[in-house]
Structures are given as structure tokens and as C-alpha cells.
Amino acid sequence: MTMDGVSVFSDHICELGEGPSYDPATDTLFWFDIVNGKLLEKPLAGALKVHDLGVMASAIAVIDADRQLIATEIGLQVRDVKTGRLTLHTPIEADNPVTRSNDSRVHPCGALWTGTMGKGEEKGAGSIYWFFKGELRRLFSGITVSNSICFSLDGTIAYYTD
């Protein structure tokens, strides 16, 4: 459907569609239907693929051509691109059934900042974590909805909304 220069990129309906990320190496956009545990993959010149993850997930980072890092309700998982198999890499609040992953962003230095939140937006249930070279640190806690993680151009200032 095209109207006045506007077109529909995907007609797939998500219950909670978030976490868009573009991979320039494959010219592909990824995003999530968070509550239904789906990863959506659409090459800019190709058909939509919907991957069932089996867990709530909200963010993706490319590791290499064969692997992706996915922020999920139990932590950071490595996804094999060919098989779709998820392998837990680093647990984050895996023992807390109240929380799930939310917004994430890669810092200019390569560190992943990833947030959690309550599945029912419980007040203060979430945190923001820093993950770099195998080390995980909790930076902020008591957050209700970790969102809009971003950085100044030089990377010296981080921003988020709650």
C-alpha cells in the first residue's frame, strides 16, 4: 500500500513491537514482538521472516555473520543465525520471573548497555546493566521502564528515560 509517498514496510502485527536494529552488512532490519517471543527479520529488498524465540526478547546486536547477541527475559543469549538456536551467554535477572529485558544500545567503545523492567511495569523493578568483554555490571537500579538508552557523540555521556 502506498499513499502520498508513504508505504508500509511490514504488515505483520505485533502485540508489542520494539527494538528495531539495522544491520548494514546484510541490509536487514530486525525488531521484536516482545511479549510473543518473536524476532522479525526483513531485508530491505526481501521478504519478512518471523523467528519464534520461545522467550521474551527486546534487543539484538550482531556478533558476526553467524551469531547475534539477543537480550531476553533471562539474560543475554547467543543466537545461531543458521539454526535459530539460543544459548544462554550471560544470565541477567534469570531468577526473577517479574522482569524482562527492554531497551539496549551498544556504546561507542563496544560495550552493551541493556535494561530490564517489570513485565507488568512494576515500579522500580528494573535496572540498567553494562556488559563488556564478558563482564556484567549493574549501573542503575530502581528503574520502572528502562528506555531510550543513547550516548553523546563522543560517548562520555549516557542518557536514558524512565
DSSP letter at 146 equals -
User: Model confidence at 85, in pLDDT bands (50, 70, 90)?
Assistant: very high
C-alpha distances out from residue 72 to 6, 35, 144, 147, Å? 33, 11, 17, 15
Q: Is the pLDDT of residue 3 over 90?
A: no
C-alpha cell at 23: 544491520
Q: Residue 57 in contact with residue 47, Cβ under 8 Å?
A: no
Q: Is the pLDDT of residue 2 over 70?
A: no
> What is the reported pLDDT for 151?
97
Report the share of the chain in percent with pLDDT over 90. 94
Condensed to tens digits (0 to 9), the pLDDT of residues 123-139 reads 999 999 999 999 999 99
CATH number of 15-161: 2.120.10.30
The neighbour count for residue 23, using CB atoms within 10 Å, is 16
Q: Is the pLDDT of residue 115 over 70?
A: yes
> What is the reported pLDDT for 6?
85
Condensed to tens digits (0 to 9), the pLDDT of residues 22-54 reads 999 999 999 999 999 999 999 999 999 999 999
> What is the reported pLDDT for 160?
94
Where do the structural domains in the chain lie, given as residue ranges?
Answer: 15-161
The neighbour count for residue 72, using CB atoms within 10 Å, is 24
Q: Is the pLDDT of residue 4 over 90?
A: no
pTM score, two decimals?
0.92
